[in-house]
Amino acid sequence: MQYFDCDKIQYEGPDSRNPLAFKHYNADEVIAGKSMKEHLRFAGAYWHVMRNDLSDPFGAGTAIMPWDDGSNSVENALTRVDVFFEFLEKMDIGYYCWHDRDIAPELNDLSASNDALDQVVAKLKEKQVETGVQLLWGTACLFSHPRYAQGAATSPDANVYAYAGAQVKKALEATKQLDGLGYTFWGGREGYATLLNTNMQRELDHLAAFLHMAVDHANKIGFDGPFYIEPKPREPSTHQYDSDAAACLNFLREYDLMEKFRLNIETNHATLAGHTMEHELTVAANAGMLGSIDANRGDELIGWDTDQFPTDIKLATEVMLVVLEMGGFTTGGLNFDAKRRRESHDPIDLIHAHLGGMDAFARGLKIADAIREDGRLAEFVQTRYSSFDNGIGAKVESGACSFEELEQFAMGNGEPTLSSGRQEMLENLLNEFL
Ligand code: XUL
Ligand code: CO
């Protein structure tokens, strides 16, 4: 049975007018020593591809999903696995990500939910073996069920906390069973609505204890992939503790969690935090902590997490500049945490949407590589800081300088003449490549 009305998507090149062909994503084409496929490591998000009915806060779902009988049964969940893998194969997407409750139903009690998960995981395993597709990361949904209304690992209720721990234990074991390369924590409800009822310090301590238990359990079961924290400032919480990359790094350092953790940076979360994606990626990469990326984008005119497909070529270029600079992904990749607009309700729209994101990132990769090969941008930045390469600047960078020495230097040096930052010239330079 075929659920998507198309053949496997082929590369036809930039002159093609076929909407169901790649114009730029050419999996085997080598850029900077690696194939596009190896650089970009695209992943499909199970929750958006299979479970998102395209409802929004004001209206019901519109997605046409002929394969889905609408039930909460294991049988329905198993059918979705076939559909999802057909989709991945047609798109030539080599990785995927899930929440436990996307792939299998939450049933009346924890052990029934665990049994359901086991059944679906067994089928996912078969499909992975059959197709060579790999699990980029797994995660537990600790935000949909009403029990998590006040948080999971930061719930004020220890009974809820325990439930969340049990759920993560199982999700981690399922990730291990599927040879998952990583495991993500996204703390959607790990935050608060008002400080009037919140003991922030206790909640943060509890969260850290929870993550330490996760590390211990990973060691116990031999899961050696990294854990990712995925920053987001708010929504659904009013304030989320993992608000941005810097806040996450501070938290991980304070609680001695740096070793096992990396960050999973998402574009729309960066902008909700009042940062650019480039900024968040740079903060993470500078700390040696950029693990993976949730590739999407927001909408300037809508204030929430619209999770749109990343079709902006400049944005993709900015992302790939950081990824190339850090030497590429190791365990991570580009996960399309993105959904179609509510108007795009046909199954084939899933193909168009991912195809566009893949083509945009292929262009971003090619453009970023060309900018790096050209070298003018890097050279400008290098020159801009060159006064720190020797003399008083080098002394500062070596950590051996004092205020007395700076004073002595400044007294004899006169008024500094500053060079222009040339922002517009550099924007023009970037545009040469777009
Ligand atoms: C929500 C979000 C999540 C995480 C996984 O904003 O990005 O889908 O990626 O829980
Ligand atoms: Co995400």
Question: Digits of tens for pLDDT over the chain (434 positions)?
Answer: 799 999 999 999 999 999 999 999 999 999 999 999 999 999 999 999 999 999 998 999 999 999 999 999 999 999 999 999 999 999 999 999 999 999 999 999 999 999 999 999 999 999 999 999 999 999 999 999 999 999 999 999 999 999 999 999 999 999 999 999 999 999 989 999 999 999 999 999 999 999 999 999 999 999 999 999 999 999 999 999 999 999 999 999 999 999 999 999 999 999 999 999 999 999 999 999 999 999 999 998 988 899 999 999 999 999 999 999 999 999 999 999 999 999 999 999 999 999 999 999 999 999 999 999 999 999 999 999 999 999 999 999 999 999 999 999 999 999 999 999 999 999 999 999 99
Give the Å distance between the CA of 355 and the centre of ligand 2.
19
User: Residue 102: how many CA atoms within 13 Å on its side-chain side?
Assistant: 22
- Determine if ligand 1 sits within 6 Å of the CB of residue 292: no
Residue 99 a catalytic site member = yes
- Determine if ligand 1 sits within 6 Å of the CB of residue 305: yes
pLDDT score, position 303: 83
- Nearest-5° Cα angle at 367, 364 to 372: 120
Choose, from 24, 48, 100, 102, the residue flagged as catalytic: 102
Taking the alpha carbons of 251, 277, 139, 150 in that order, is the dihedral positive or negative? positive
How far apart are alpha carbons 98 and 139 in whole angstroms?
6
Residue 102 a catalytic site member = yes
Give the Å distance between the CA of 60 and the centre of ligand 1.
21
- Determine if ligand 1 sits within 6 Å of the CB of residue 337: yes
Write the burial class of residue 338 (CB in 10 Å: 0-12 exposed, 13-18 middle, 19+ buried). buried
- Determine if ligand 1 sits within 6 Å of the CB of residue 232: yes
pLDDT score, position 1: 78
- Please name the residue that has the structure tokens 């940076």: 265
pLDDT score, position 304: 87
Give the Å distance between the CA of 266 and the centre of ligand 2.
6
- Please name the residue that has the structure tokens 């395993």: 125
Residues 6+ apart with CB under 8 A from 315: 267, 277, 297, 364
How far apart are alpha carbons 89 and 365 in whole angstroms?
22
Q: Whose CA is nearest to atom 8 of ligand 1?
A: 337
CA 104 vs CA 140, 174, 432: distances in Å: 11, 12, 48
How far apart are alpha carbons 43 and 100 in whole angstroms?
17
Give the Å distance between the CA of 249 and the centre of ligand 1.
19
CA 168 vs CA 135, 215, 253: distances in Å: 17, 11, 22
The size of the chain, in residues, is 434
CA 165 vs CA 171, 208, 232, 247, 402: distances in Å: 10, 12, 21, 23, 50
- Determine if ligand 1 sits within 6 Å of the CB of residue 280: no
Point out the ligand 1 atom lying closest to the alpha carbon of residue 141. Answer: 10
Is the distance from CB of 422 to CB of 380 less than 8 angstroms? yes
Choose, from 99, 269, 275, 279, the residue flagged as catalytic: 99
In this structure, what DSSP letter does residue 302 have? Answer: B
Is the distance from CB of 384 to CB of 422 less than 8 angstroms? no
- Please name the residue that has the structure tokens 């922030």: 200
Give the Å distance between the CA of 97 and the centre of ligand 1.
10
Write the burial class of residue 242 (CB in 10 Å: 0-12 exposed, 13-18 middle, 19+ buried). buried
CA Rg, the chain, in Å? 23
Query: Per the structure block, which two tokens stand in for 396?
Result: 């500062």
Query: Per the structure block, which two tokens stand in for 129?
Result: 């073996």
- Determine if ligand 1 sits within 6 Å of the CB of residue 307: no
Point out the ligand 1 atom lying closest to the alpha carbon of residue 335. Answer: 9
Is the distance from CB of 57 to CB of 302 less than 8 angstroms? no
Taking the alpha carbons of 413, 417, 422, 423 in that order, is the dihedral positive or negative? positive
- Determine if ligand 1 sits within 6 Å of the CB of residue 190: no
Taking the alpha carbons of 194, 196, 201, 206 in that order, is the dihedral positive or negative? negative
Is the distance from CB of 240 to CB of 234 less than 8 angstroms? yes
Mutate to test the pocket of ligand 1, among 294, 297, 306, 334 (most ligand atoms within 8 A of CB): 294
How much is the pTM?
0.98
Q: Whose CA is nearest to atom 3 of ligand 1?
A: 186
Distance from CA of residue 310 to its chain's centroid?
12
Domains of the chain: 10-374 (3.20.20.150), 390-433 (no CATH)
- Determine if ligand 1 sits within 6 Å of the CB of residue 139: yes
Give the Å distance between the CA of 392 and the centre of ligand 2.
45
- Determine if ligand 1 sits within 6 Å of the CB of residue 183: no
CA of 293, nearest ligand number = 2
Residues with CB under 5 A from ligand 2 (ion): 266, 294, 337
- Determine if ligand 1 sits within 6 Å of the CB of residue 242: no
How far apart are alpha carbons 99 and 152 in whole angstroms?
15
Give the Å distance between the CA of 11 and the centre of ligand 2.
28
For the chain, the maximum distance between any two Cα atoms, rounded to a whole number of angstroms, is 81
* Closest by CA position to 149, among listed 140, 160, 165, 139: 160
Output the DSSP codes for 164-179.
Answer: HHHHHHHHHHHHHHTT
The bridge status of strand 227-229 relative to strand 30-31 is: unpaired
Point out the ligand 1 atom lying closest to the alpha carbon of residue 269. Answer: 6
